[in-house]
Amino acid sequence: MLNEIENEPGLKPRLADRSLFPNLQYRAYLAHCSIAPISLPVQRRIGEAVASYTRLGSAAFAEWLPYRTVLRERLARLSGAVAENIALVPNTTQGVLSVALCFPWRQGDRVLSFCGEFPANITPWQRAAELYSLDLQLLPLERVPQPDVLGALSEALQDKSRGAVRLVAVSLVQFQSGLLMPIKEIAELCHRYGAALCVDGIQGLGVVECQAKAWGVDFLACGSHKWLMGAEGAGFLYIAEEWLPRLRQVMAGWLSHEHTFDFLSEPESGHLDYSRPLRRDATFVELGTGNTLGYLALEASTSILEELGRENIYAHVCAYNDLLEAGLVQRGFASLRSKPASGILSVIPPAEGLNTAQWAAALGERGILCSNPDGLLRFAPHWHNSLDEVGYVLECVEALQKRNR
């Protein structure tokens, strides 16, 4: 059954072609930074799995188990990680929390992150700080297209007045502004001063480049429902090889043990052993029964990304945002887009007129779905968005401006 669906006639993905989204009601879906729509191949993969479980019950588990290996391989290629060091987890938060609780902390260790990070990359470190008596410091991050990220980080890493920094937590792409963070340079700085780097990849993976192993990323967590275009409730955590023996296995469940299924599969009794050692690979954080449907959806969606080519997707998304940005700036909006760019275009509307919530609502009524995080107006196209949409978006913006003058 493996790969049957992606080879089915009529399901071939093409850039700027929304044929695989026949029921998508929005004329311009620009909210991939929130939750991506489900494509037809992903929908059919989920349907196949549901039908299988309907027919076979528990016997269906073995039928779909090989997809997990394929998924790890696809995720490794998309992120520049190592498949054997990838654990499948429910979401970004669970991945980050696993690192935060299992890291070999010492009392008084410092953790650095940035103001404006999504809470999924802050709350786990707050919990770790409380539990392990850590010093969590949030560095300022200006809302300008090119903030001095490396300067602020370098200064904080060199400041020993509050103790040594053990870990830096940062997003690949900042969720509000769309700022593409210089992860390779950040990793070099971290390692120069003896700190580990944990990256939240959910706002970038699937569209921007990531070379986790080559860049020196120690931990990378990501969920599936944004730029990877899977369903909600599935994600992964990459753990660099050198960290596997150093983590404290605080996060562990029944699936974390070696020879997990022996007591369920061996013919003789005596295999129900609670003292079995925990695995030392990344999968020790796979605590219990996983979201099979979510992982199958993610495997199907990442196969589409691979077929199209991440570089091609990035070029297409940038071309879309180039046109949209130019038109919005011409109409008085201020752009926060960084160079190099991510897939997100965040703008500040003109001072007079609609606020961001009103803009998002008014555009939604006209078939344009975008978002408005914390006072910004955010657009996020993907591979299926046609550049022809941009003209319609700008027409609607101009009409709304005229109406509200």
pLDDT in tens, 317-330: 999 999 999 999 99
Whether 9 maps to a domain, the answer reads no
Q: Do 120 and 260 have their domain in common?
A: yes
Last residue of a domain, one of 272, 304, 336: 304
CA 30 to chain centre: 17
Whether 285 is covered by a domain: the verdict is yes
Q: What is the mean pLDDT of residues 255-273?
A: 86
Tell me, yes or no, whether 137 lies in a domain: yes
Do 142 and 85 have their domain in common? yes
pLDDT: is 74 or 270 the higher one? 74
| Average pLDDT rounded to a whole number, residues 356-363 | 98
Q: Which of 304, 329, 363 is at the close of a domain?
A: 304
In a domain, 77, yes or no: yes
Domain match, 247 and 212 both: yes
pLDDT category at 219 given cuts 50, 70, 90 is very high
Residues 109 and 225 grouped into a single domain:
yes
- Cα distance between residue 181 and residue 376, in whole Å: 19
Residue 44 lies in a domain: no
Confidence grade of residue 155 (pLDDT, cut at 50, 70, 90)? very high
Task: Say if residue 287 is in the same domain as residue 146.
Answer: yes
**Lowest-pLDDT range of 5-14, 29-38, 59-68:** 5-14
- The count of domains in the chain is 2
Residue closest to 238 by CA, chosen among 280, 206, 281, 189:
281
pLDDT at 5: 44
At 169, is the pLDDT very low, low, confident or very high (cuts 50, 70, 90)? very high
In a domain, 20, yes or no: no
In a domain, 193, yes or no: yes
pLDDT band per the 50, 70, 90 thresholds, residue 260: confident
- In 3D, which of 160, 163, 102, 95 has the Cα closest to residue 132? 102
Residue 163: per-residue pLDDT = 87
Pair 337, 261 in one domain: no
pTM: predicted TM-score of the whole model, two decimal places: 0.95
Same domain, 315 and 299: no
Domain check: are 254 and 145 in the same one?
Answer: yes
Give residues with Cβ within 8 angstroms of 61, minimum separation 6. 292
What pLDDT score was predicted for residue 6?
A: 47
pLDDT for 251 beyond 60:
yes
Are 174 and 181 contacting, i.e. CB atoms less than 8 angstroms apart?
yes
- pLDDT value at position 11? 80
What mean pLDDT value characterizes the chain? 95
Confidence (pLDDT) at 386: 98
Assign 8 a pLDDT band (cuts: 50, 70, 90): low
* 51-to-48, 58, 66, 170, 261 alpha-carbon distances in Å: 5, 12, 17, 40, 25
Which residues form the domain of 135? 63-304
Same domain as 343, residue 205: no
Write the CATH number for 250.
Answer: 3.40.640.10
pLDDT at 312 over 90: yes
The pairing of strands 28-29 and 235-239 is unpaired
User: Rounded to the nearest 5 degrees, what angle is found at the Cα of 286, between the Cα atoms of 174 and 101?
Assistant: 60
Q: Taking residues 69-86, report their average pLDDT.
A: 98
Q: Is 319 in the same domain as 388?
A: yes
28-59 confidence digits (pLDDT tens): 999 999 999 999 999 999 999 999 999 999 99
Q: What is the mean pLDDT of residues 226-247?
A: 98
Domain final residue pick, 263, 278, 304? 304
Q: Is the pLDDT of residue 4 over 70?
A: no
338 in the same domain as 258: no
Q: Is there a single domain that holds both residue 193 and residue 96?
A: yes
pLDDT tens column, 103-142: 999 999 999 999 999 999 999 999 999 999 999 999 999 9
- Residue 79 included in any domain: yes
Highest averaged pLDDT of the listed ranges 157-166, 179-188, 261-270: 179-188
Mean pLDDT of 352-367: 96
